[in-house]
Structure 1
């Protein structure tokens, strides 16, 4: 089996990791500390120059080199505008490297605490930086990275779920009875809404933000073309009134740099449904990776699938409710 066919990283040994890093003239002095990443393999270490680094090995056969380089180009453009994003380091004249079949890159290690998405001051700050990211993102579209689409997030995800054979047989009828209308309704609502697609962070949630005298954005791994609201809705939490207040707060900062089309609020619940289905499909597709079986053991439990049936029913009902609106009348 070639590296590019091995989704499980089984040949990514500690010796290979160290050899790859040293091939760039960086020599680790400390051990490798695995950081929280399921899609890729990410490690922190201290080198002989006493600086901390992070090395990221991309999951084989997910992105092409051209798609990764496009991600890196976007990160460099954002960093050039002094947007606090942790961009890959240029070493030996490039940011993307290859060693024994694995693509990898190095980053400076930046510490910070978790982002508080219930802090309105932090949310307004976030809004300003998302607006600045989108101001850069609107200058061009990705050419080789994908668009956010219902084909990937619903149709392909649904196929991966069913092909995994993880769905308990006696729940299949009930699960499909809610999955089908959820996907159909979300697809209709998403595709009927017009929007301006441009380069996004793509996965802008609290887990991809560090707070260190302000926000630091990390992980452009899911960057793609899509609507502005995709980088905003995952900041929202709580009940409807709380979410409307949070929206107003975020967009007050956002609109200092970038205009927002309020019609995109109709996309929030379809996008939420798409993320729910895509998340299940992602785990199903990666189930052959032992790391997923260890970290997501509940995916094989009957109780999880029963809970998903209920969650999908609640989300389908939400799709039929009035979309969130702005309190400010923006």
Structure 2
């Protein structure tokens, strides 16, 4: 995506005359591109993405407009919309948050508690019925994972190059784990559903004077264990790494009897998505070596290791 074209879109769609536009590289979403855009008076985060669903941004706008702290507002288009569309991808804008990424800086116990409060407020939110009913009940990533898994398996039958050969060896080593993830899913939970962020690990949290939960592409209407799973182990540096951090989060979150079977289900689903997704990236790029190391970590000590003991 060229800088000149992006500037034209921002002016035409949002009325923003950008004087500075800088690419921002972070996150695992290879379907998205992010920029830091500066005008004469303000700075914005610009995201052009083909991932997720429209309803995620509608939920984020509802929460922000309701005054829920920690949810960045969506800047409206000149016509009052939440996004514009170019090449079948959404272009969205939020105010730039000049803070650190929690995945890099970590959180203090006090901040973990504050994050528990934030996520509980998200789960307790009651969007309009029409919006609630439009929310997906199942992960859009999970729906395409089996086909992606078959693509990876076929490619690894005749690996080419060092990365593919090592990935083939990893898949052989953890063959029983991958087979379990593909064929032995626990029963889906049937408990009450709430608005879930869908991906609330620390890679999607920014820290300045407060905490900000970003990247609302994967919103889902599901039992709250869909989100709580991320706080209960297997996430490495993007989740609580000590019992004190976990306790602080749960204290902030407040009273709720965790459905362990639901946790087991969502851990199993996410472990499969991550193993297959990162394996596919190790084959197709970008950052093949990094994706390979992430895949190995998920299988050896991450979510997959917890999901399939």
Range of TM-score over shorter length: 0.7 to 0.9
Structure 2 equivalent of residue 57 of structure 1: 48
The alpha-carbon deviation at position 80 of structure 1 amounts to 2.7
For residues 55-110 of structure 1, give each alpha carbon's deviation from its aligned partner in whole angstroms, at most 9, with x where no partner exists.
Answer: 21123xx45xxx32x12210122113322111321122111113465431222112
Q: Distance in 2 between matches of 1:28 and 1:150?
A: 34
Native 8 Å contact 2:225 2:263 kept in 1: yes
Q: Are residue 47 (structure 1) and residue 45 (structure 2) matched?
A: no
For residues 174-198 of structure 1, give each alpha carbon's deviation from its aligned partner in whole angstroms, at most 9, with x where no partner exists.
Answer: 7256345434257645425544343
The alpha-carbon deviation at position 204 of structure 1 amounts to 0.8
Structure 1 equivalent of residue 20 of structure 2: 30
The alpha-carbon deviation at position 210 of structure 1 amounts to 1.0
Which 5+ residue runs of structure 1 have no aligned equivalent? 1-11, 322-330
Give the secondary structure class of the aligned counterpart of 1:232.
Answer: helix
Structure 2 equivalent of residue 221 of structure 1: 217
Instruction: Identify the match of residue 71 of structure 1 among 44, 56, 60.
Output: 56
Where does 1:5-24 land on structure 2 (aligned, <5 Å)? 12-23=1-12, 24=14
> Which range moved further: 33-42 or 160-169?
160-169
Native 8 Å contact 2:71 2:214 kept in 1: yes
CA RMSD of aligned residues (A): 3.7
Native 8 Å contact 2:177 2:308 kept in 1: no
Q: Distance in 1 between matches of 2:35 and 2:188?
A: 42
Which 5+ residue runs of structure 2 have no aligned equivalent? none
- The size of the alignment, in residue pairs, is 289
Structure 1 equivalent of residue 278 of structure 2: 280
Taking structure 1 as the reference length, the TM-score comes to 0.71
Q: Distance in 1 between matches of 2:21 and 2:170?
A: 49
Instruction: Classify 1:245/1:182 alpha carbon distance in 2 versus 1 (closer, same or farther; 3 Å).
Output: farther
Taking structure 2 as the reference length, the TM-score comes to 0.75
